[in-house]
Amino acid sequence: MSECIVRAISNQKGGVGKTTVCLNLGIGLARQGKRVLLIDFDVQANLTQSLGYQMPDELPVTVSDIMRKIMEDEPIGPGEGIIKHSEGVSLLPSNIQLSGVETSLVQAMNRERILKTYIDQIKNQYDTILIDCMPSLGMLTINALTAADKVIIPIQAHFLSVKGLELLLKTVGRVRKQLNPDLAIEGILLNMLDRRSTFTQEIIALIRDHFGTNLKVFKTEIPMSVRAVEAGAEGKSIYLHDPRGKVAQAFENLIREVTQHERQRKENQDRELR
């Protein structure tokens, strides 16, 4: 059985398209036969709504219930809270109750590892778990980074996004030093791009030159498109909504990059074991 890879999709700046990346990357991997769990770890529940569950506050069990059970050392039933989506992924949904969990975490024992404790119990059922993080660097994001093997950082070609990226990289460094030494940055993903402006092209060049020497910046760029927004509003992926469009093609390229890197890593590990 293949090892499960846990990925956090994170950037504390809002509006960079984390949810769209999480949804389409997850469903794209599921289309290749991977067993995928998406965890909505944002109080705004955008991922939950983008998968068609428009009334998240009416869902019987969400990630906040699971977090509380871990904190109170209560048993969790098999598959509890997990919803199967028609496009082949599983979802642990979120709602507004998650904001109360963040407050409770301050008092919790082992507070940074609550999500990791849960994921460790269920990860043998999946090939990959994607966590859609909040646009903040609070205790919930720290939990996600502590639970993750890798971070994908979606970023727009804006000056403020670059400043936000530097803050996130510092947080990743602290988490690596104190909580999760194996945490790796899988890559920076240029997202929601409109390459027609000269300024955008200058910012892209800056990101690739400044960060690309030490970190992977994915070759794939996800273009700005109203189709991606429409797909989320209809509770489906870009592959169903606009399968021949430029965004679907870009996500397929991204998945090729991600899976190629996984294969290379596994081959290197196999060589080391010989």
| Residue numbers of the domain that contains 202 | 5-273
pLDDT in tens, 68-77: 999 999 999 9
Task: Measure CA 24 to chain center.
Answer: 10
What whole-number distance in Å separates Cα of residue 218 and Cα of residue 206?
14
Quote the CA–CA distance of 164 and 172 in Å, as a whole number: 12
Specify the pairing of strand 217-223 against strand 5-9.
Answer: unpaired
β-pairing verdict for 5-9 and 128-133: parallel
Domains held by the chain: number: 1
* 115: three-class secondary structure by DSSP: helix
Q: How far is CA 245 from CA 141, 189, 225, 251, in A?
A: 32, 19, 9, 10
Max Cα separation, the chain?
55
Could you tell me the two tokens for 140?
């919930």
pLDDT in tens, 4-54: 999 999 998 888 889 999 999 999 999 999 999 999 999 999 999 999 999
Per DSSP, 11 falls in state -
Q: What's 160's domain CATH number? A: 3.40.50.300
Strand partners, 184: 150
Q: What is the pTM of this model?
A: 0.94
Is 90 exceeded by the pLDDT of residue 215? yes
Round the average pLDDT of the chain to a whole number and report it.
Answer: 92
